[in-house]
Structure 1
Amino acid sequence: MNYCPQCASPLAEVLVDDEIRSGCPDRACGFIHFNNPVPVVAMIVEVEGGVVLAHNVSWPKKFYSIITGFLEAGEDPVECARRETMEELNLHALETELIGAYPFPHQNQVIIAYHVKAAGEIKLNHELDDYKIVPVDQLKGWDMGTGLAINDWLKSRGC
């Protein structure tokens, strides 16, 4: 954001409660851009045979991850997990369990992660172009974002 959404003045650095923030330099306007993180729901979708990892059409070829989606205004995160599992994979969520919440500062997001047991026939939506099912004993997380949720989920299973 480069301009104030209230008065259209160019945004500048302003001091708010002893912190430098982006805001409107016009004191009469007073707009402050807090740039709060966006909530994202991530699902470790488990089906018969393992966990579904999918490839997003905009990612590098070899990168696969768990399913994610943006939380809609007023939506319960559990319902978001169920909705995104259906929308992106065409799978019915049978059980959902909260794993945890994780910072993802690279994208200014906070990730709310769930384990979802699901059933049905996988049909990818337009955002995804490939998937694989990874047996749980071969699943490995990574040190940021959704990988942290995978690591915690694996630890909770004694893996």
Structure 2
Amino acid sequence: MLPLDKVKFCPACGERVVPRIEENRTRLACPAASCGHVLYGNPTPVVAALIEKDGEALLVRNKGWPAGWYGLVSGFLEAGETPAAGVLREVQEELGLDGEVAGLIGAFAFPERNEVILAYHVRARGEVRMGDELEHFKAVPLAKLRPWPFGTGLAVAAWLEQQRAHQA
């Protein structure tokens, strides 16, 4: 999705958009009286899977990511798809694994990408077959799993906290 600061023309009618106060915020909007389309910049829903397989968490590195960067399997929720079905589809597409949703971890804002992440704990089975989007994957023992401070790392931190609470 094009960031709002790059949008120049109304997607509904093609007029040049202008800043306008809408709902107490400055938003880009179409000035044409016959249109008036407002660009709200709503975040895109993304599903993410903290995949547990054989006592390990599977982390992935997408093509184009810097060396050493890993995250959870994630992808855009598709129209008409439930988040739980979407996360299982992503696990299948990216790692070729079958899985079952063990639970919802939570919803996390990812403002750097204008996304909201719906993260799930997924127990997976099968043999890993990496999809076209991935550069690499690694298996991390659950006891050694550590979060990172943004994006899907927030889901990892929440899941680790949930695990500690269940053990107490």
**TM class by shorter-chain length?**
over 0.9
RMSD: 1.2
CA drift of 1:158 comes to: 1.1
State the aligned residue count.
159
Residue 142 (structure 2) aligns with: 136
Further displaced range: 5-14 or 118-127: 5-14
Whether the 8 Å CA contact 2:146–2:156 is kept in 1: the answer is: yes
1:100 is matched with which residue: 92, 99, 106? 106
TM-score (norm 1): 0.95
> Which letter maps to 1:37?
P
Contact 1:42 1:146 in 2 (8 A): yes
1:87 equivalent to 2:68? Answer: no
Instruction: Give the superposition deviation at 1:143.
Output: 2.0
Q: State the alpha-carbon separation in 2 of the partners of residues 40 and 7 from structure 1.
A: 28
Aligned with 1:111 (options 107, 117, 127): 117
Match of 1:123, SS?
A: coil
**Alpha carbons of 1:4 and 1:95: their partners in 2 closer, same or farther (altered >3 Å)?**
closer
Superposed displacement of residue 15, structure 1: 1.5
TM-score (norm 2): 0.90
Q: Deviations over 1:31-79 (max 9, x none)?
A: 1011100000010001014000111001111101110011001100000
Aligned pairs for 1:135-154 within 5 A: 135-154=141-160
Alignment of 1:46-65 (within 5 A): 46-65=52-71
- Per-residue CA shift, 1:5-50, capped at 9, x if unaligned? 2221111101112221011122332110111000000100010140
Deviating above 3 A after TM superposition, structure 1's stretches of 4 or more consecutive aligned residues are none
Q: Identity of counterpart residues, as a percentage?
A: 41
Kindly state the Cα deviation for residue 92 of structure 1 after the two structures are TM-superposed.
0.6
- The separation in 1 between residues aligned to 2:95 and 2:54, in whole angstroms, is 14
Indicate yes or no: 2:31 matched with 1:25: yes
Which runs of 5 or more residues in structure 1 are unaligned?
none
User: Match for residue 130 of structure 2?
Assistant: 124
